[in-house]
Amino acid sequence: MHHHGSSLILRNALTGLRAGGQLVRWPAWLVLGRDPRPGADALIEHQDRVEGSTPAAGRGEGAGRRVRWLAVQAALGPGVLALTVAMWLTAAVVVGTPLWWRFASAPVVFVPITDTASSLVGALCGVPLVLLAVACGYGLPRWHAAVGRAVLDGPRFRRLTHRVEVLTASRADALEVQAAELRRIERDLHDGAQARLVSAGMLLGLLDIKLDDLPADRRALLAEARSEVGWALQELRDLVHGVYPPILADRGLTGGIDSLVERTTRVIGSVTATVEVAGRLPAALESTVYFVVAEALANVAKHSAARRAGVVVRAGRERVCVEVHDDGRGGADELRGSGLAGLRRRAAAFDGTLSITSPLGGPTVLRVELPCAS
């Protein structure tokens, strides 16, 4: 039996014995006016720790559901242990057929035993039983845990849990579709309207050169037209950058954050960046991390009066952690419209969390955690 599986089966059996004791005492506690539910809740919490599961809100509500859980644990805990022991004993007996035949003269185990060769055949028949016992050592505790959760959760809770999983997956798909659409809009603006404005500016420049004999007032109008085209081009570039930063497609998240750090360094003097991301993140998540860092650094540059700041981005298997800190004056308040509300909304779109520590006098530490798969 696998060590972890065997210890879990033993602990489940002890939980079953305790559950049986509570189940027997439950009517007496009610007669004596004691509330038996806290004892059951404590045992449920203990079993969650044993199984390594995370309890969800709304589990085990109602006395009837607690009683059913105690009954199931009282039956399954010792029962699974007894079944496991019986399987291993049977496997040991069959595998030890040569010994039994030699020393106890057992005539039959699963095949007729008449000599050493047939006893070895009987021992080989025990190998599948050993494999089955090992598999049960892995599987039975998980099945036990699944039954316990099903009793606690109830059918309505399981339906809600499944619905949440479906909605979470559909939201992730919607975010990816949105990111793809934003990339398409960015490409269309870059290759279409932006290119046309560049061409219009060049044509106006050529026109200015060729028509050097125009009156001063008309040359002023031409210069104003070139200026307006230039401003429109800059606004369009800013719009493209806000829709989906082209640098993410060109240089990835590390390059994008490096560009943000470079721009912020011109304002506050010293900004460091540590980006630990293996490979590319999903497009929607990558752009969200980029904009979180961009907005956080913009807040530092505008409001903190900091001399130094730092950005740390670490992506694990399950979560991406973003931290932006500065040595400014502190006192950042989400209610004062310093951009923190927008950051929180970005994080909430991914089921992420935002926390900020900003005492008066600093330092300020902003931390955002985003799940890798929403």
Domain of 339, CATH number, reads 3.30.565.10
Judge if 128 and 43 occupy the same domain: yes
Judge if 205 and 251 occupy the same domain: no
Q: Could you say which of 167, 193, 226 is where a domain stops? A: 167
pLDDT (0 to 100) of residue 103 = 67
pLDDT (0 to 100) of residue 164 = 62
Judge if 235 and 278 occupy the same domain: no
Q: Exposed (0-12), middle (13-18) or buried (19+): which is 28, by Cβ within 10 Å?
A: exposed
Judge if 136 and 254 occupy the same domain: no
The structure's pTM equals 0.47
Residue with tokens 């752009």: 287
Judge if 211 and 254 occupy the same domain: no
Phi, psi of 183 (to 5 degrees): -65, -40
Judge if 192 and 107 occupy the same domain: no
* Tokens matching residue 214: 């125009």
User: What CA–CA distance (Å, rounded) separates 121 from 110?
Assistant: 9
Q: Could you say which of 193, 226, 242 is where a domain stops? A: 242
Judge if 259 and 338 occupy the same domain: yes
Judge if 360 and 315 occupy the same domain: yes
Judge if 17 and 160 occupy the same domain: yes
Using an 8 Å Cβ cutoff, are 358 and 332 in contact? Answer: yes
The domain in which residue 203 lies consists of 173-242
Judge if 24 and 163 occupy the same domain: yes
Q: Cβ atoms within 10 A of the Cβ of 31, count?
A: 8
Judge if 153 and 301 occupy the same domain: no
The one-letter code for the residue type at 245 is: P
pLDDT (0 to 100) of residue 289 = 87
Q: Could you say which of 136, 167, 198 is where a domain stops? A: 167
pLDDT (0 to 100) of residue 3 = 45
Q: Cα–Cα distances in Å, from 49 out to 67, 136, 217?
A: 20, 21, 83
Total number of domains in the chain: 3
Residues of the chain with confidence (pLDDT) below 70: 1-5, 53-62, 100-116, 119, 154-194, 197, 207-208, 210-214, 218-219, 235-244, 335-339, 373-374
Judge if 25 and 116 occupy the same domain: yes
User: What CA–CA distance (Å, rounded) separates 194 from 27?
Assistant: 79
User: What CA–CA distance (Å, rounded) separates 256 from 266?
Assistant: 16
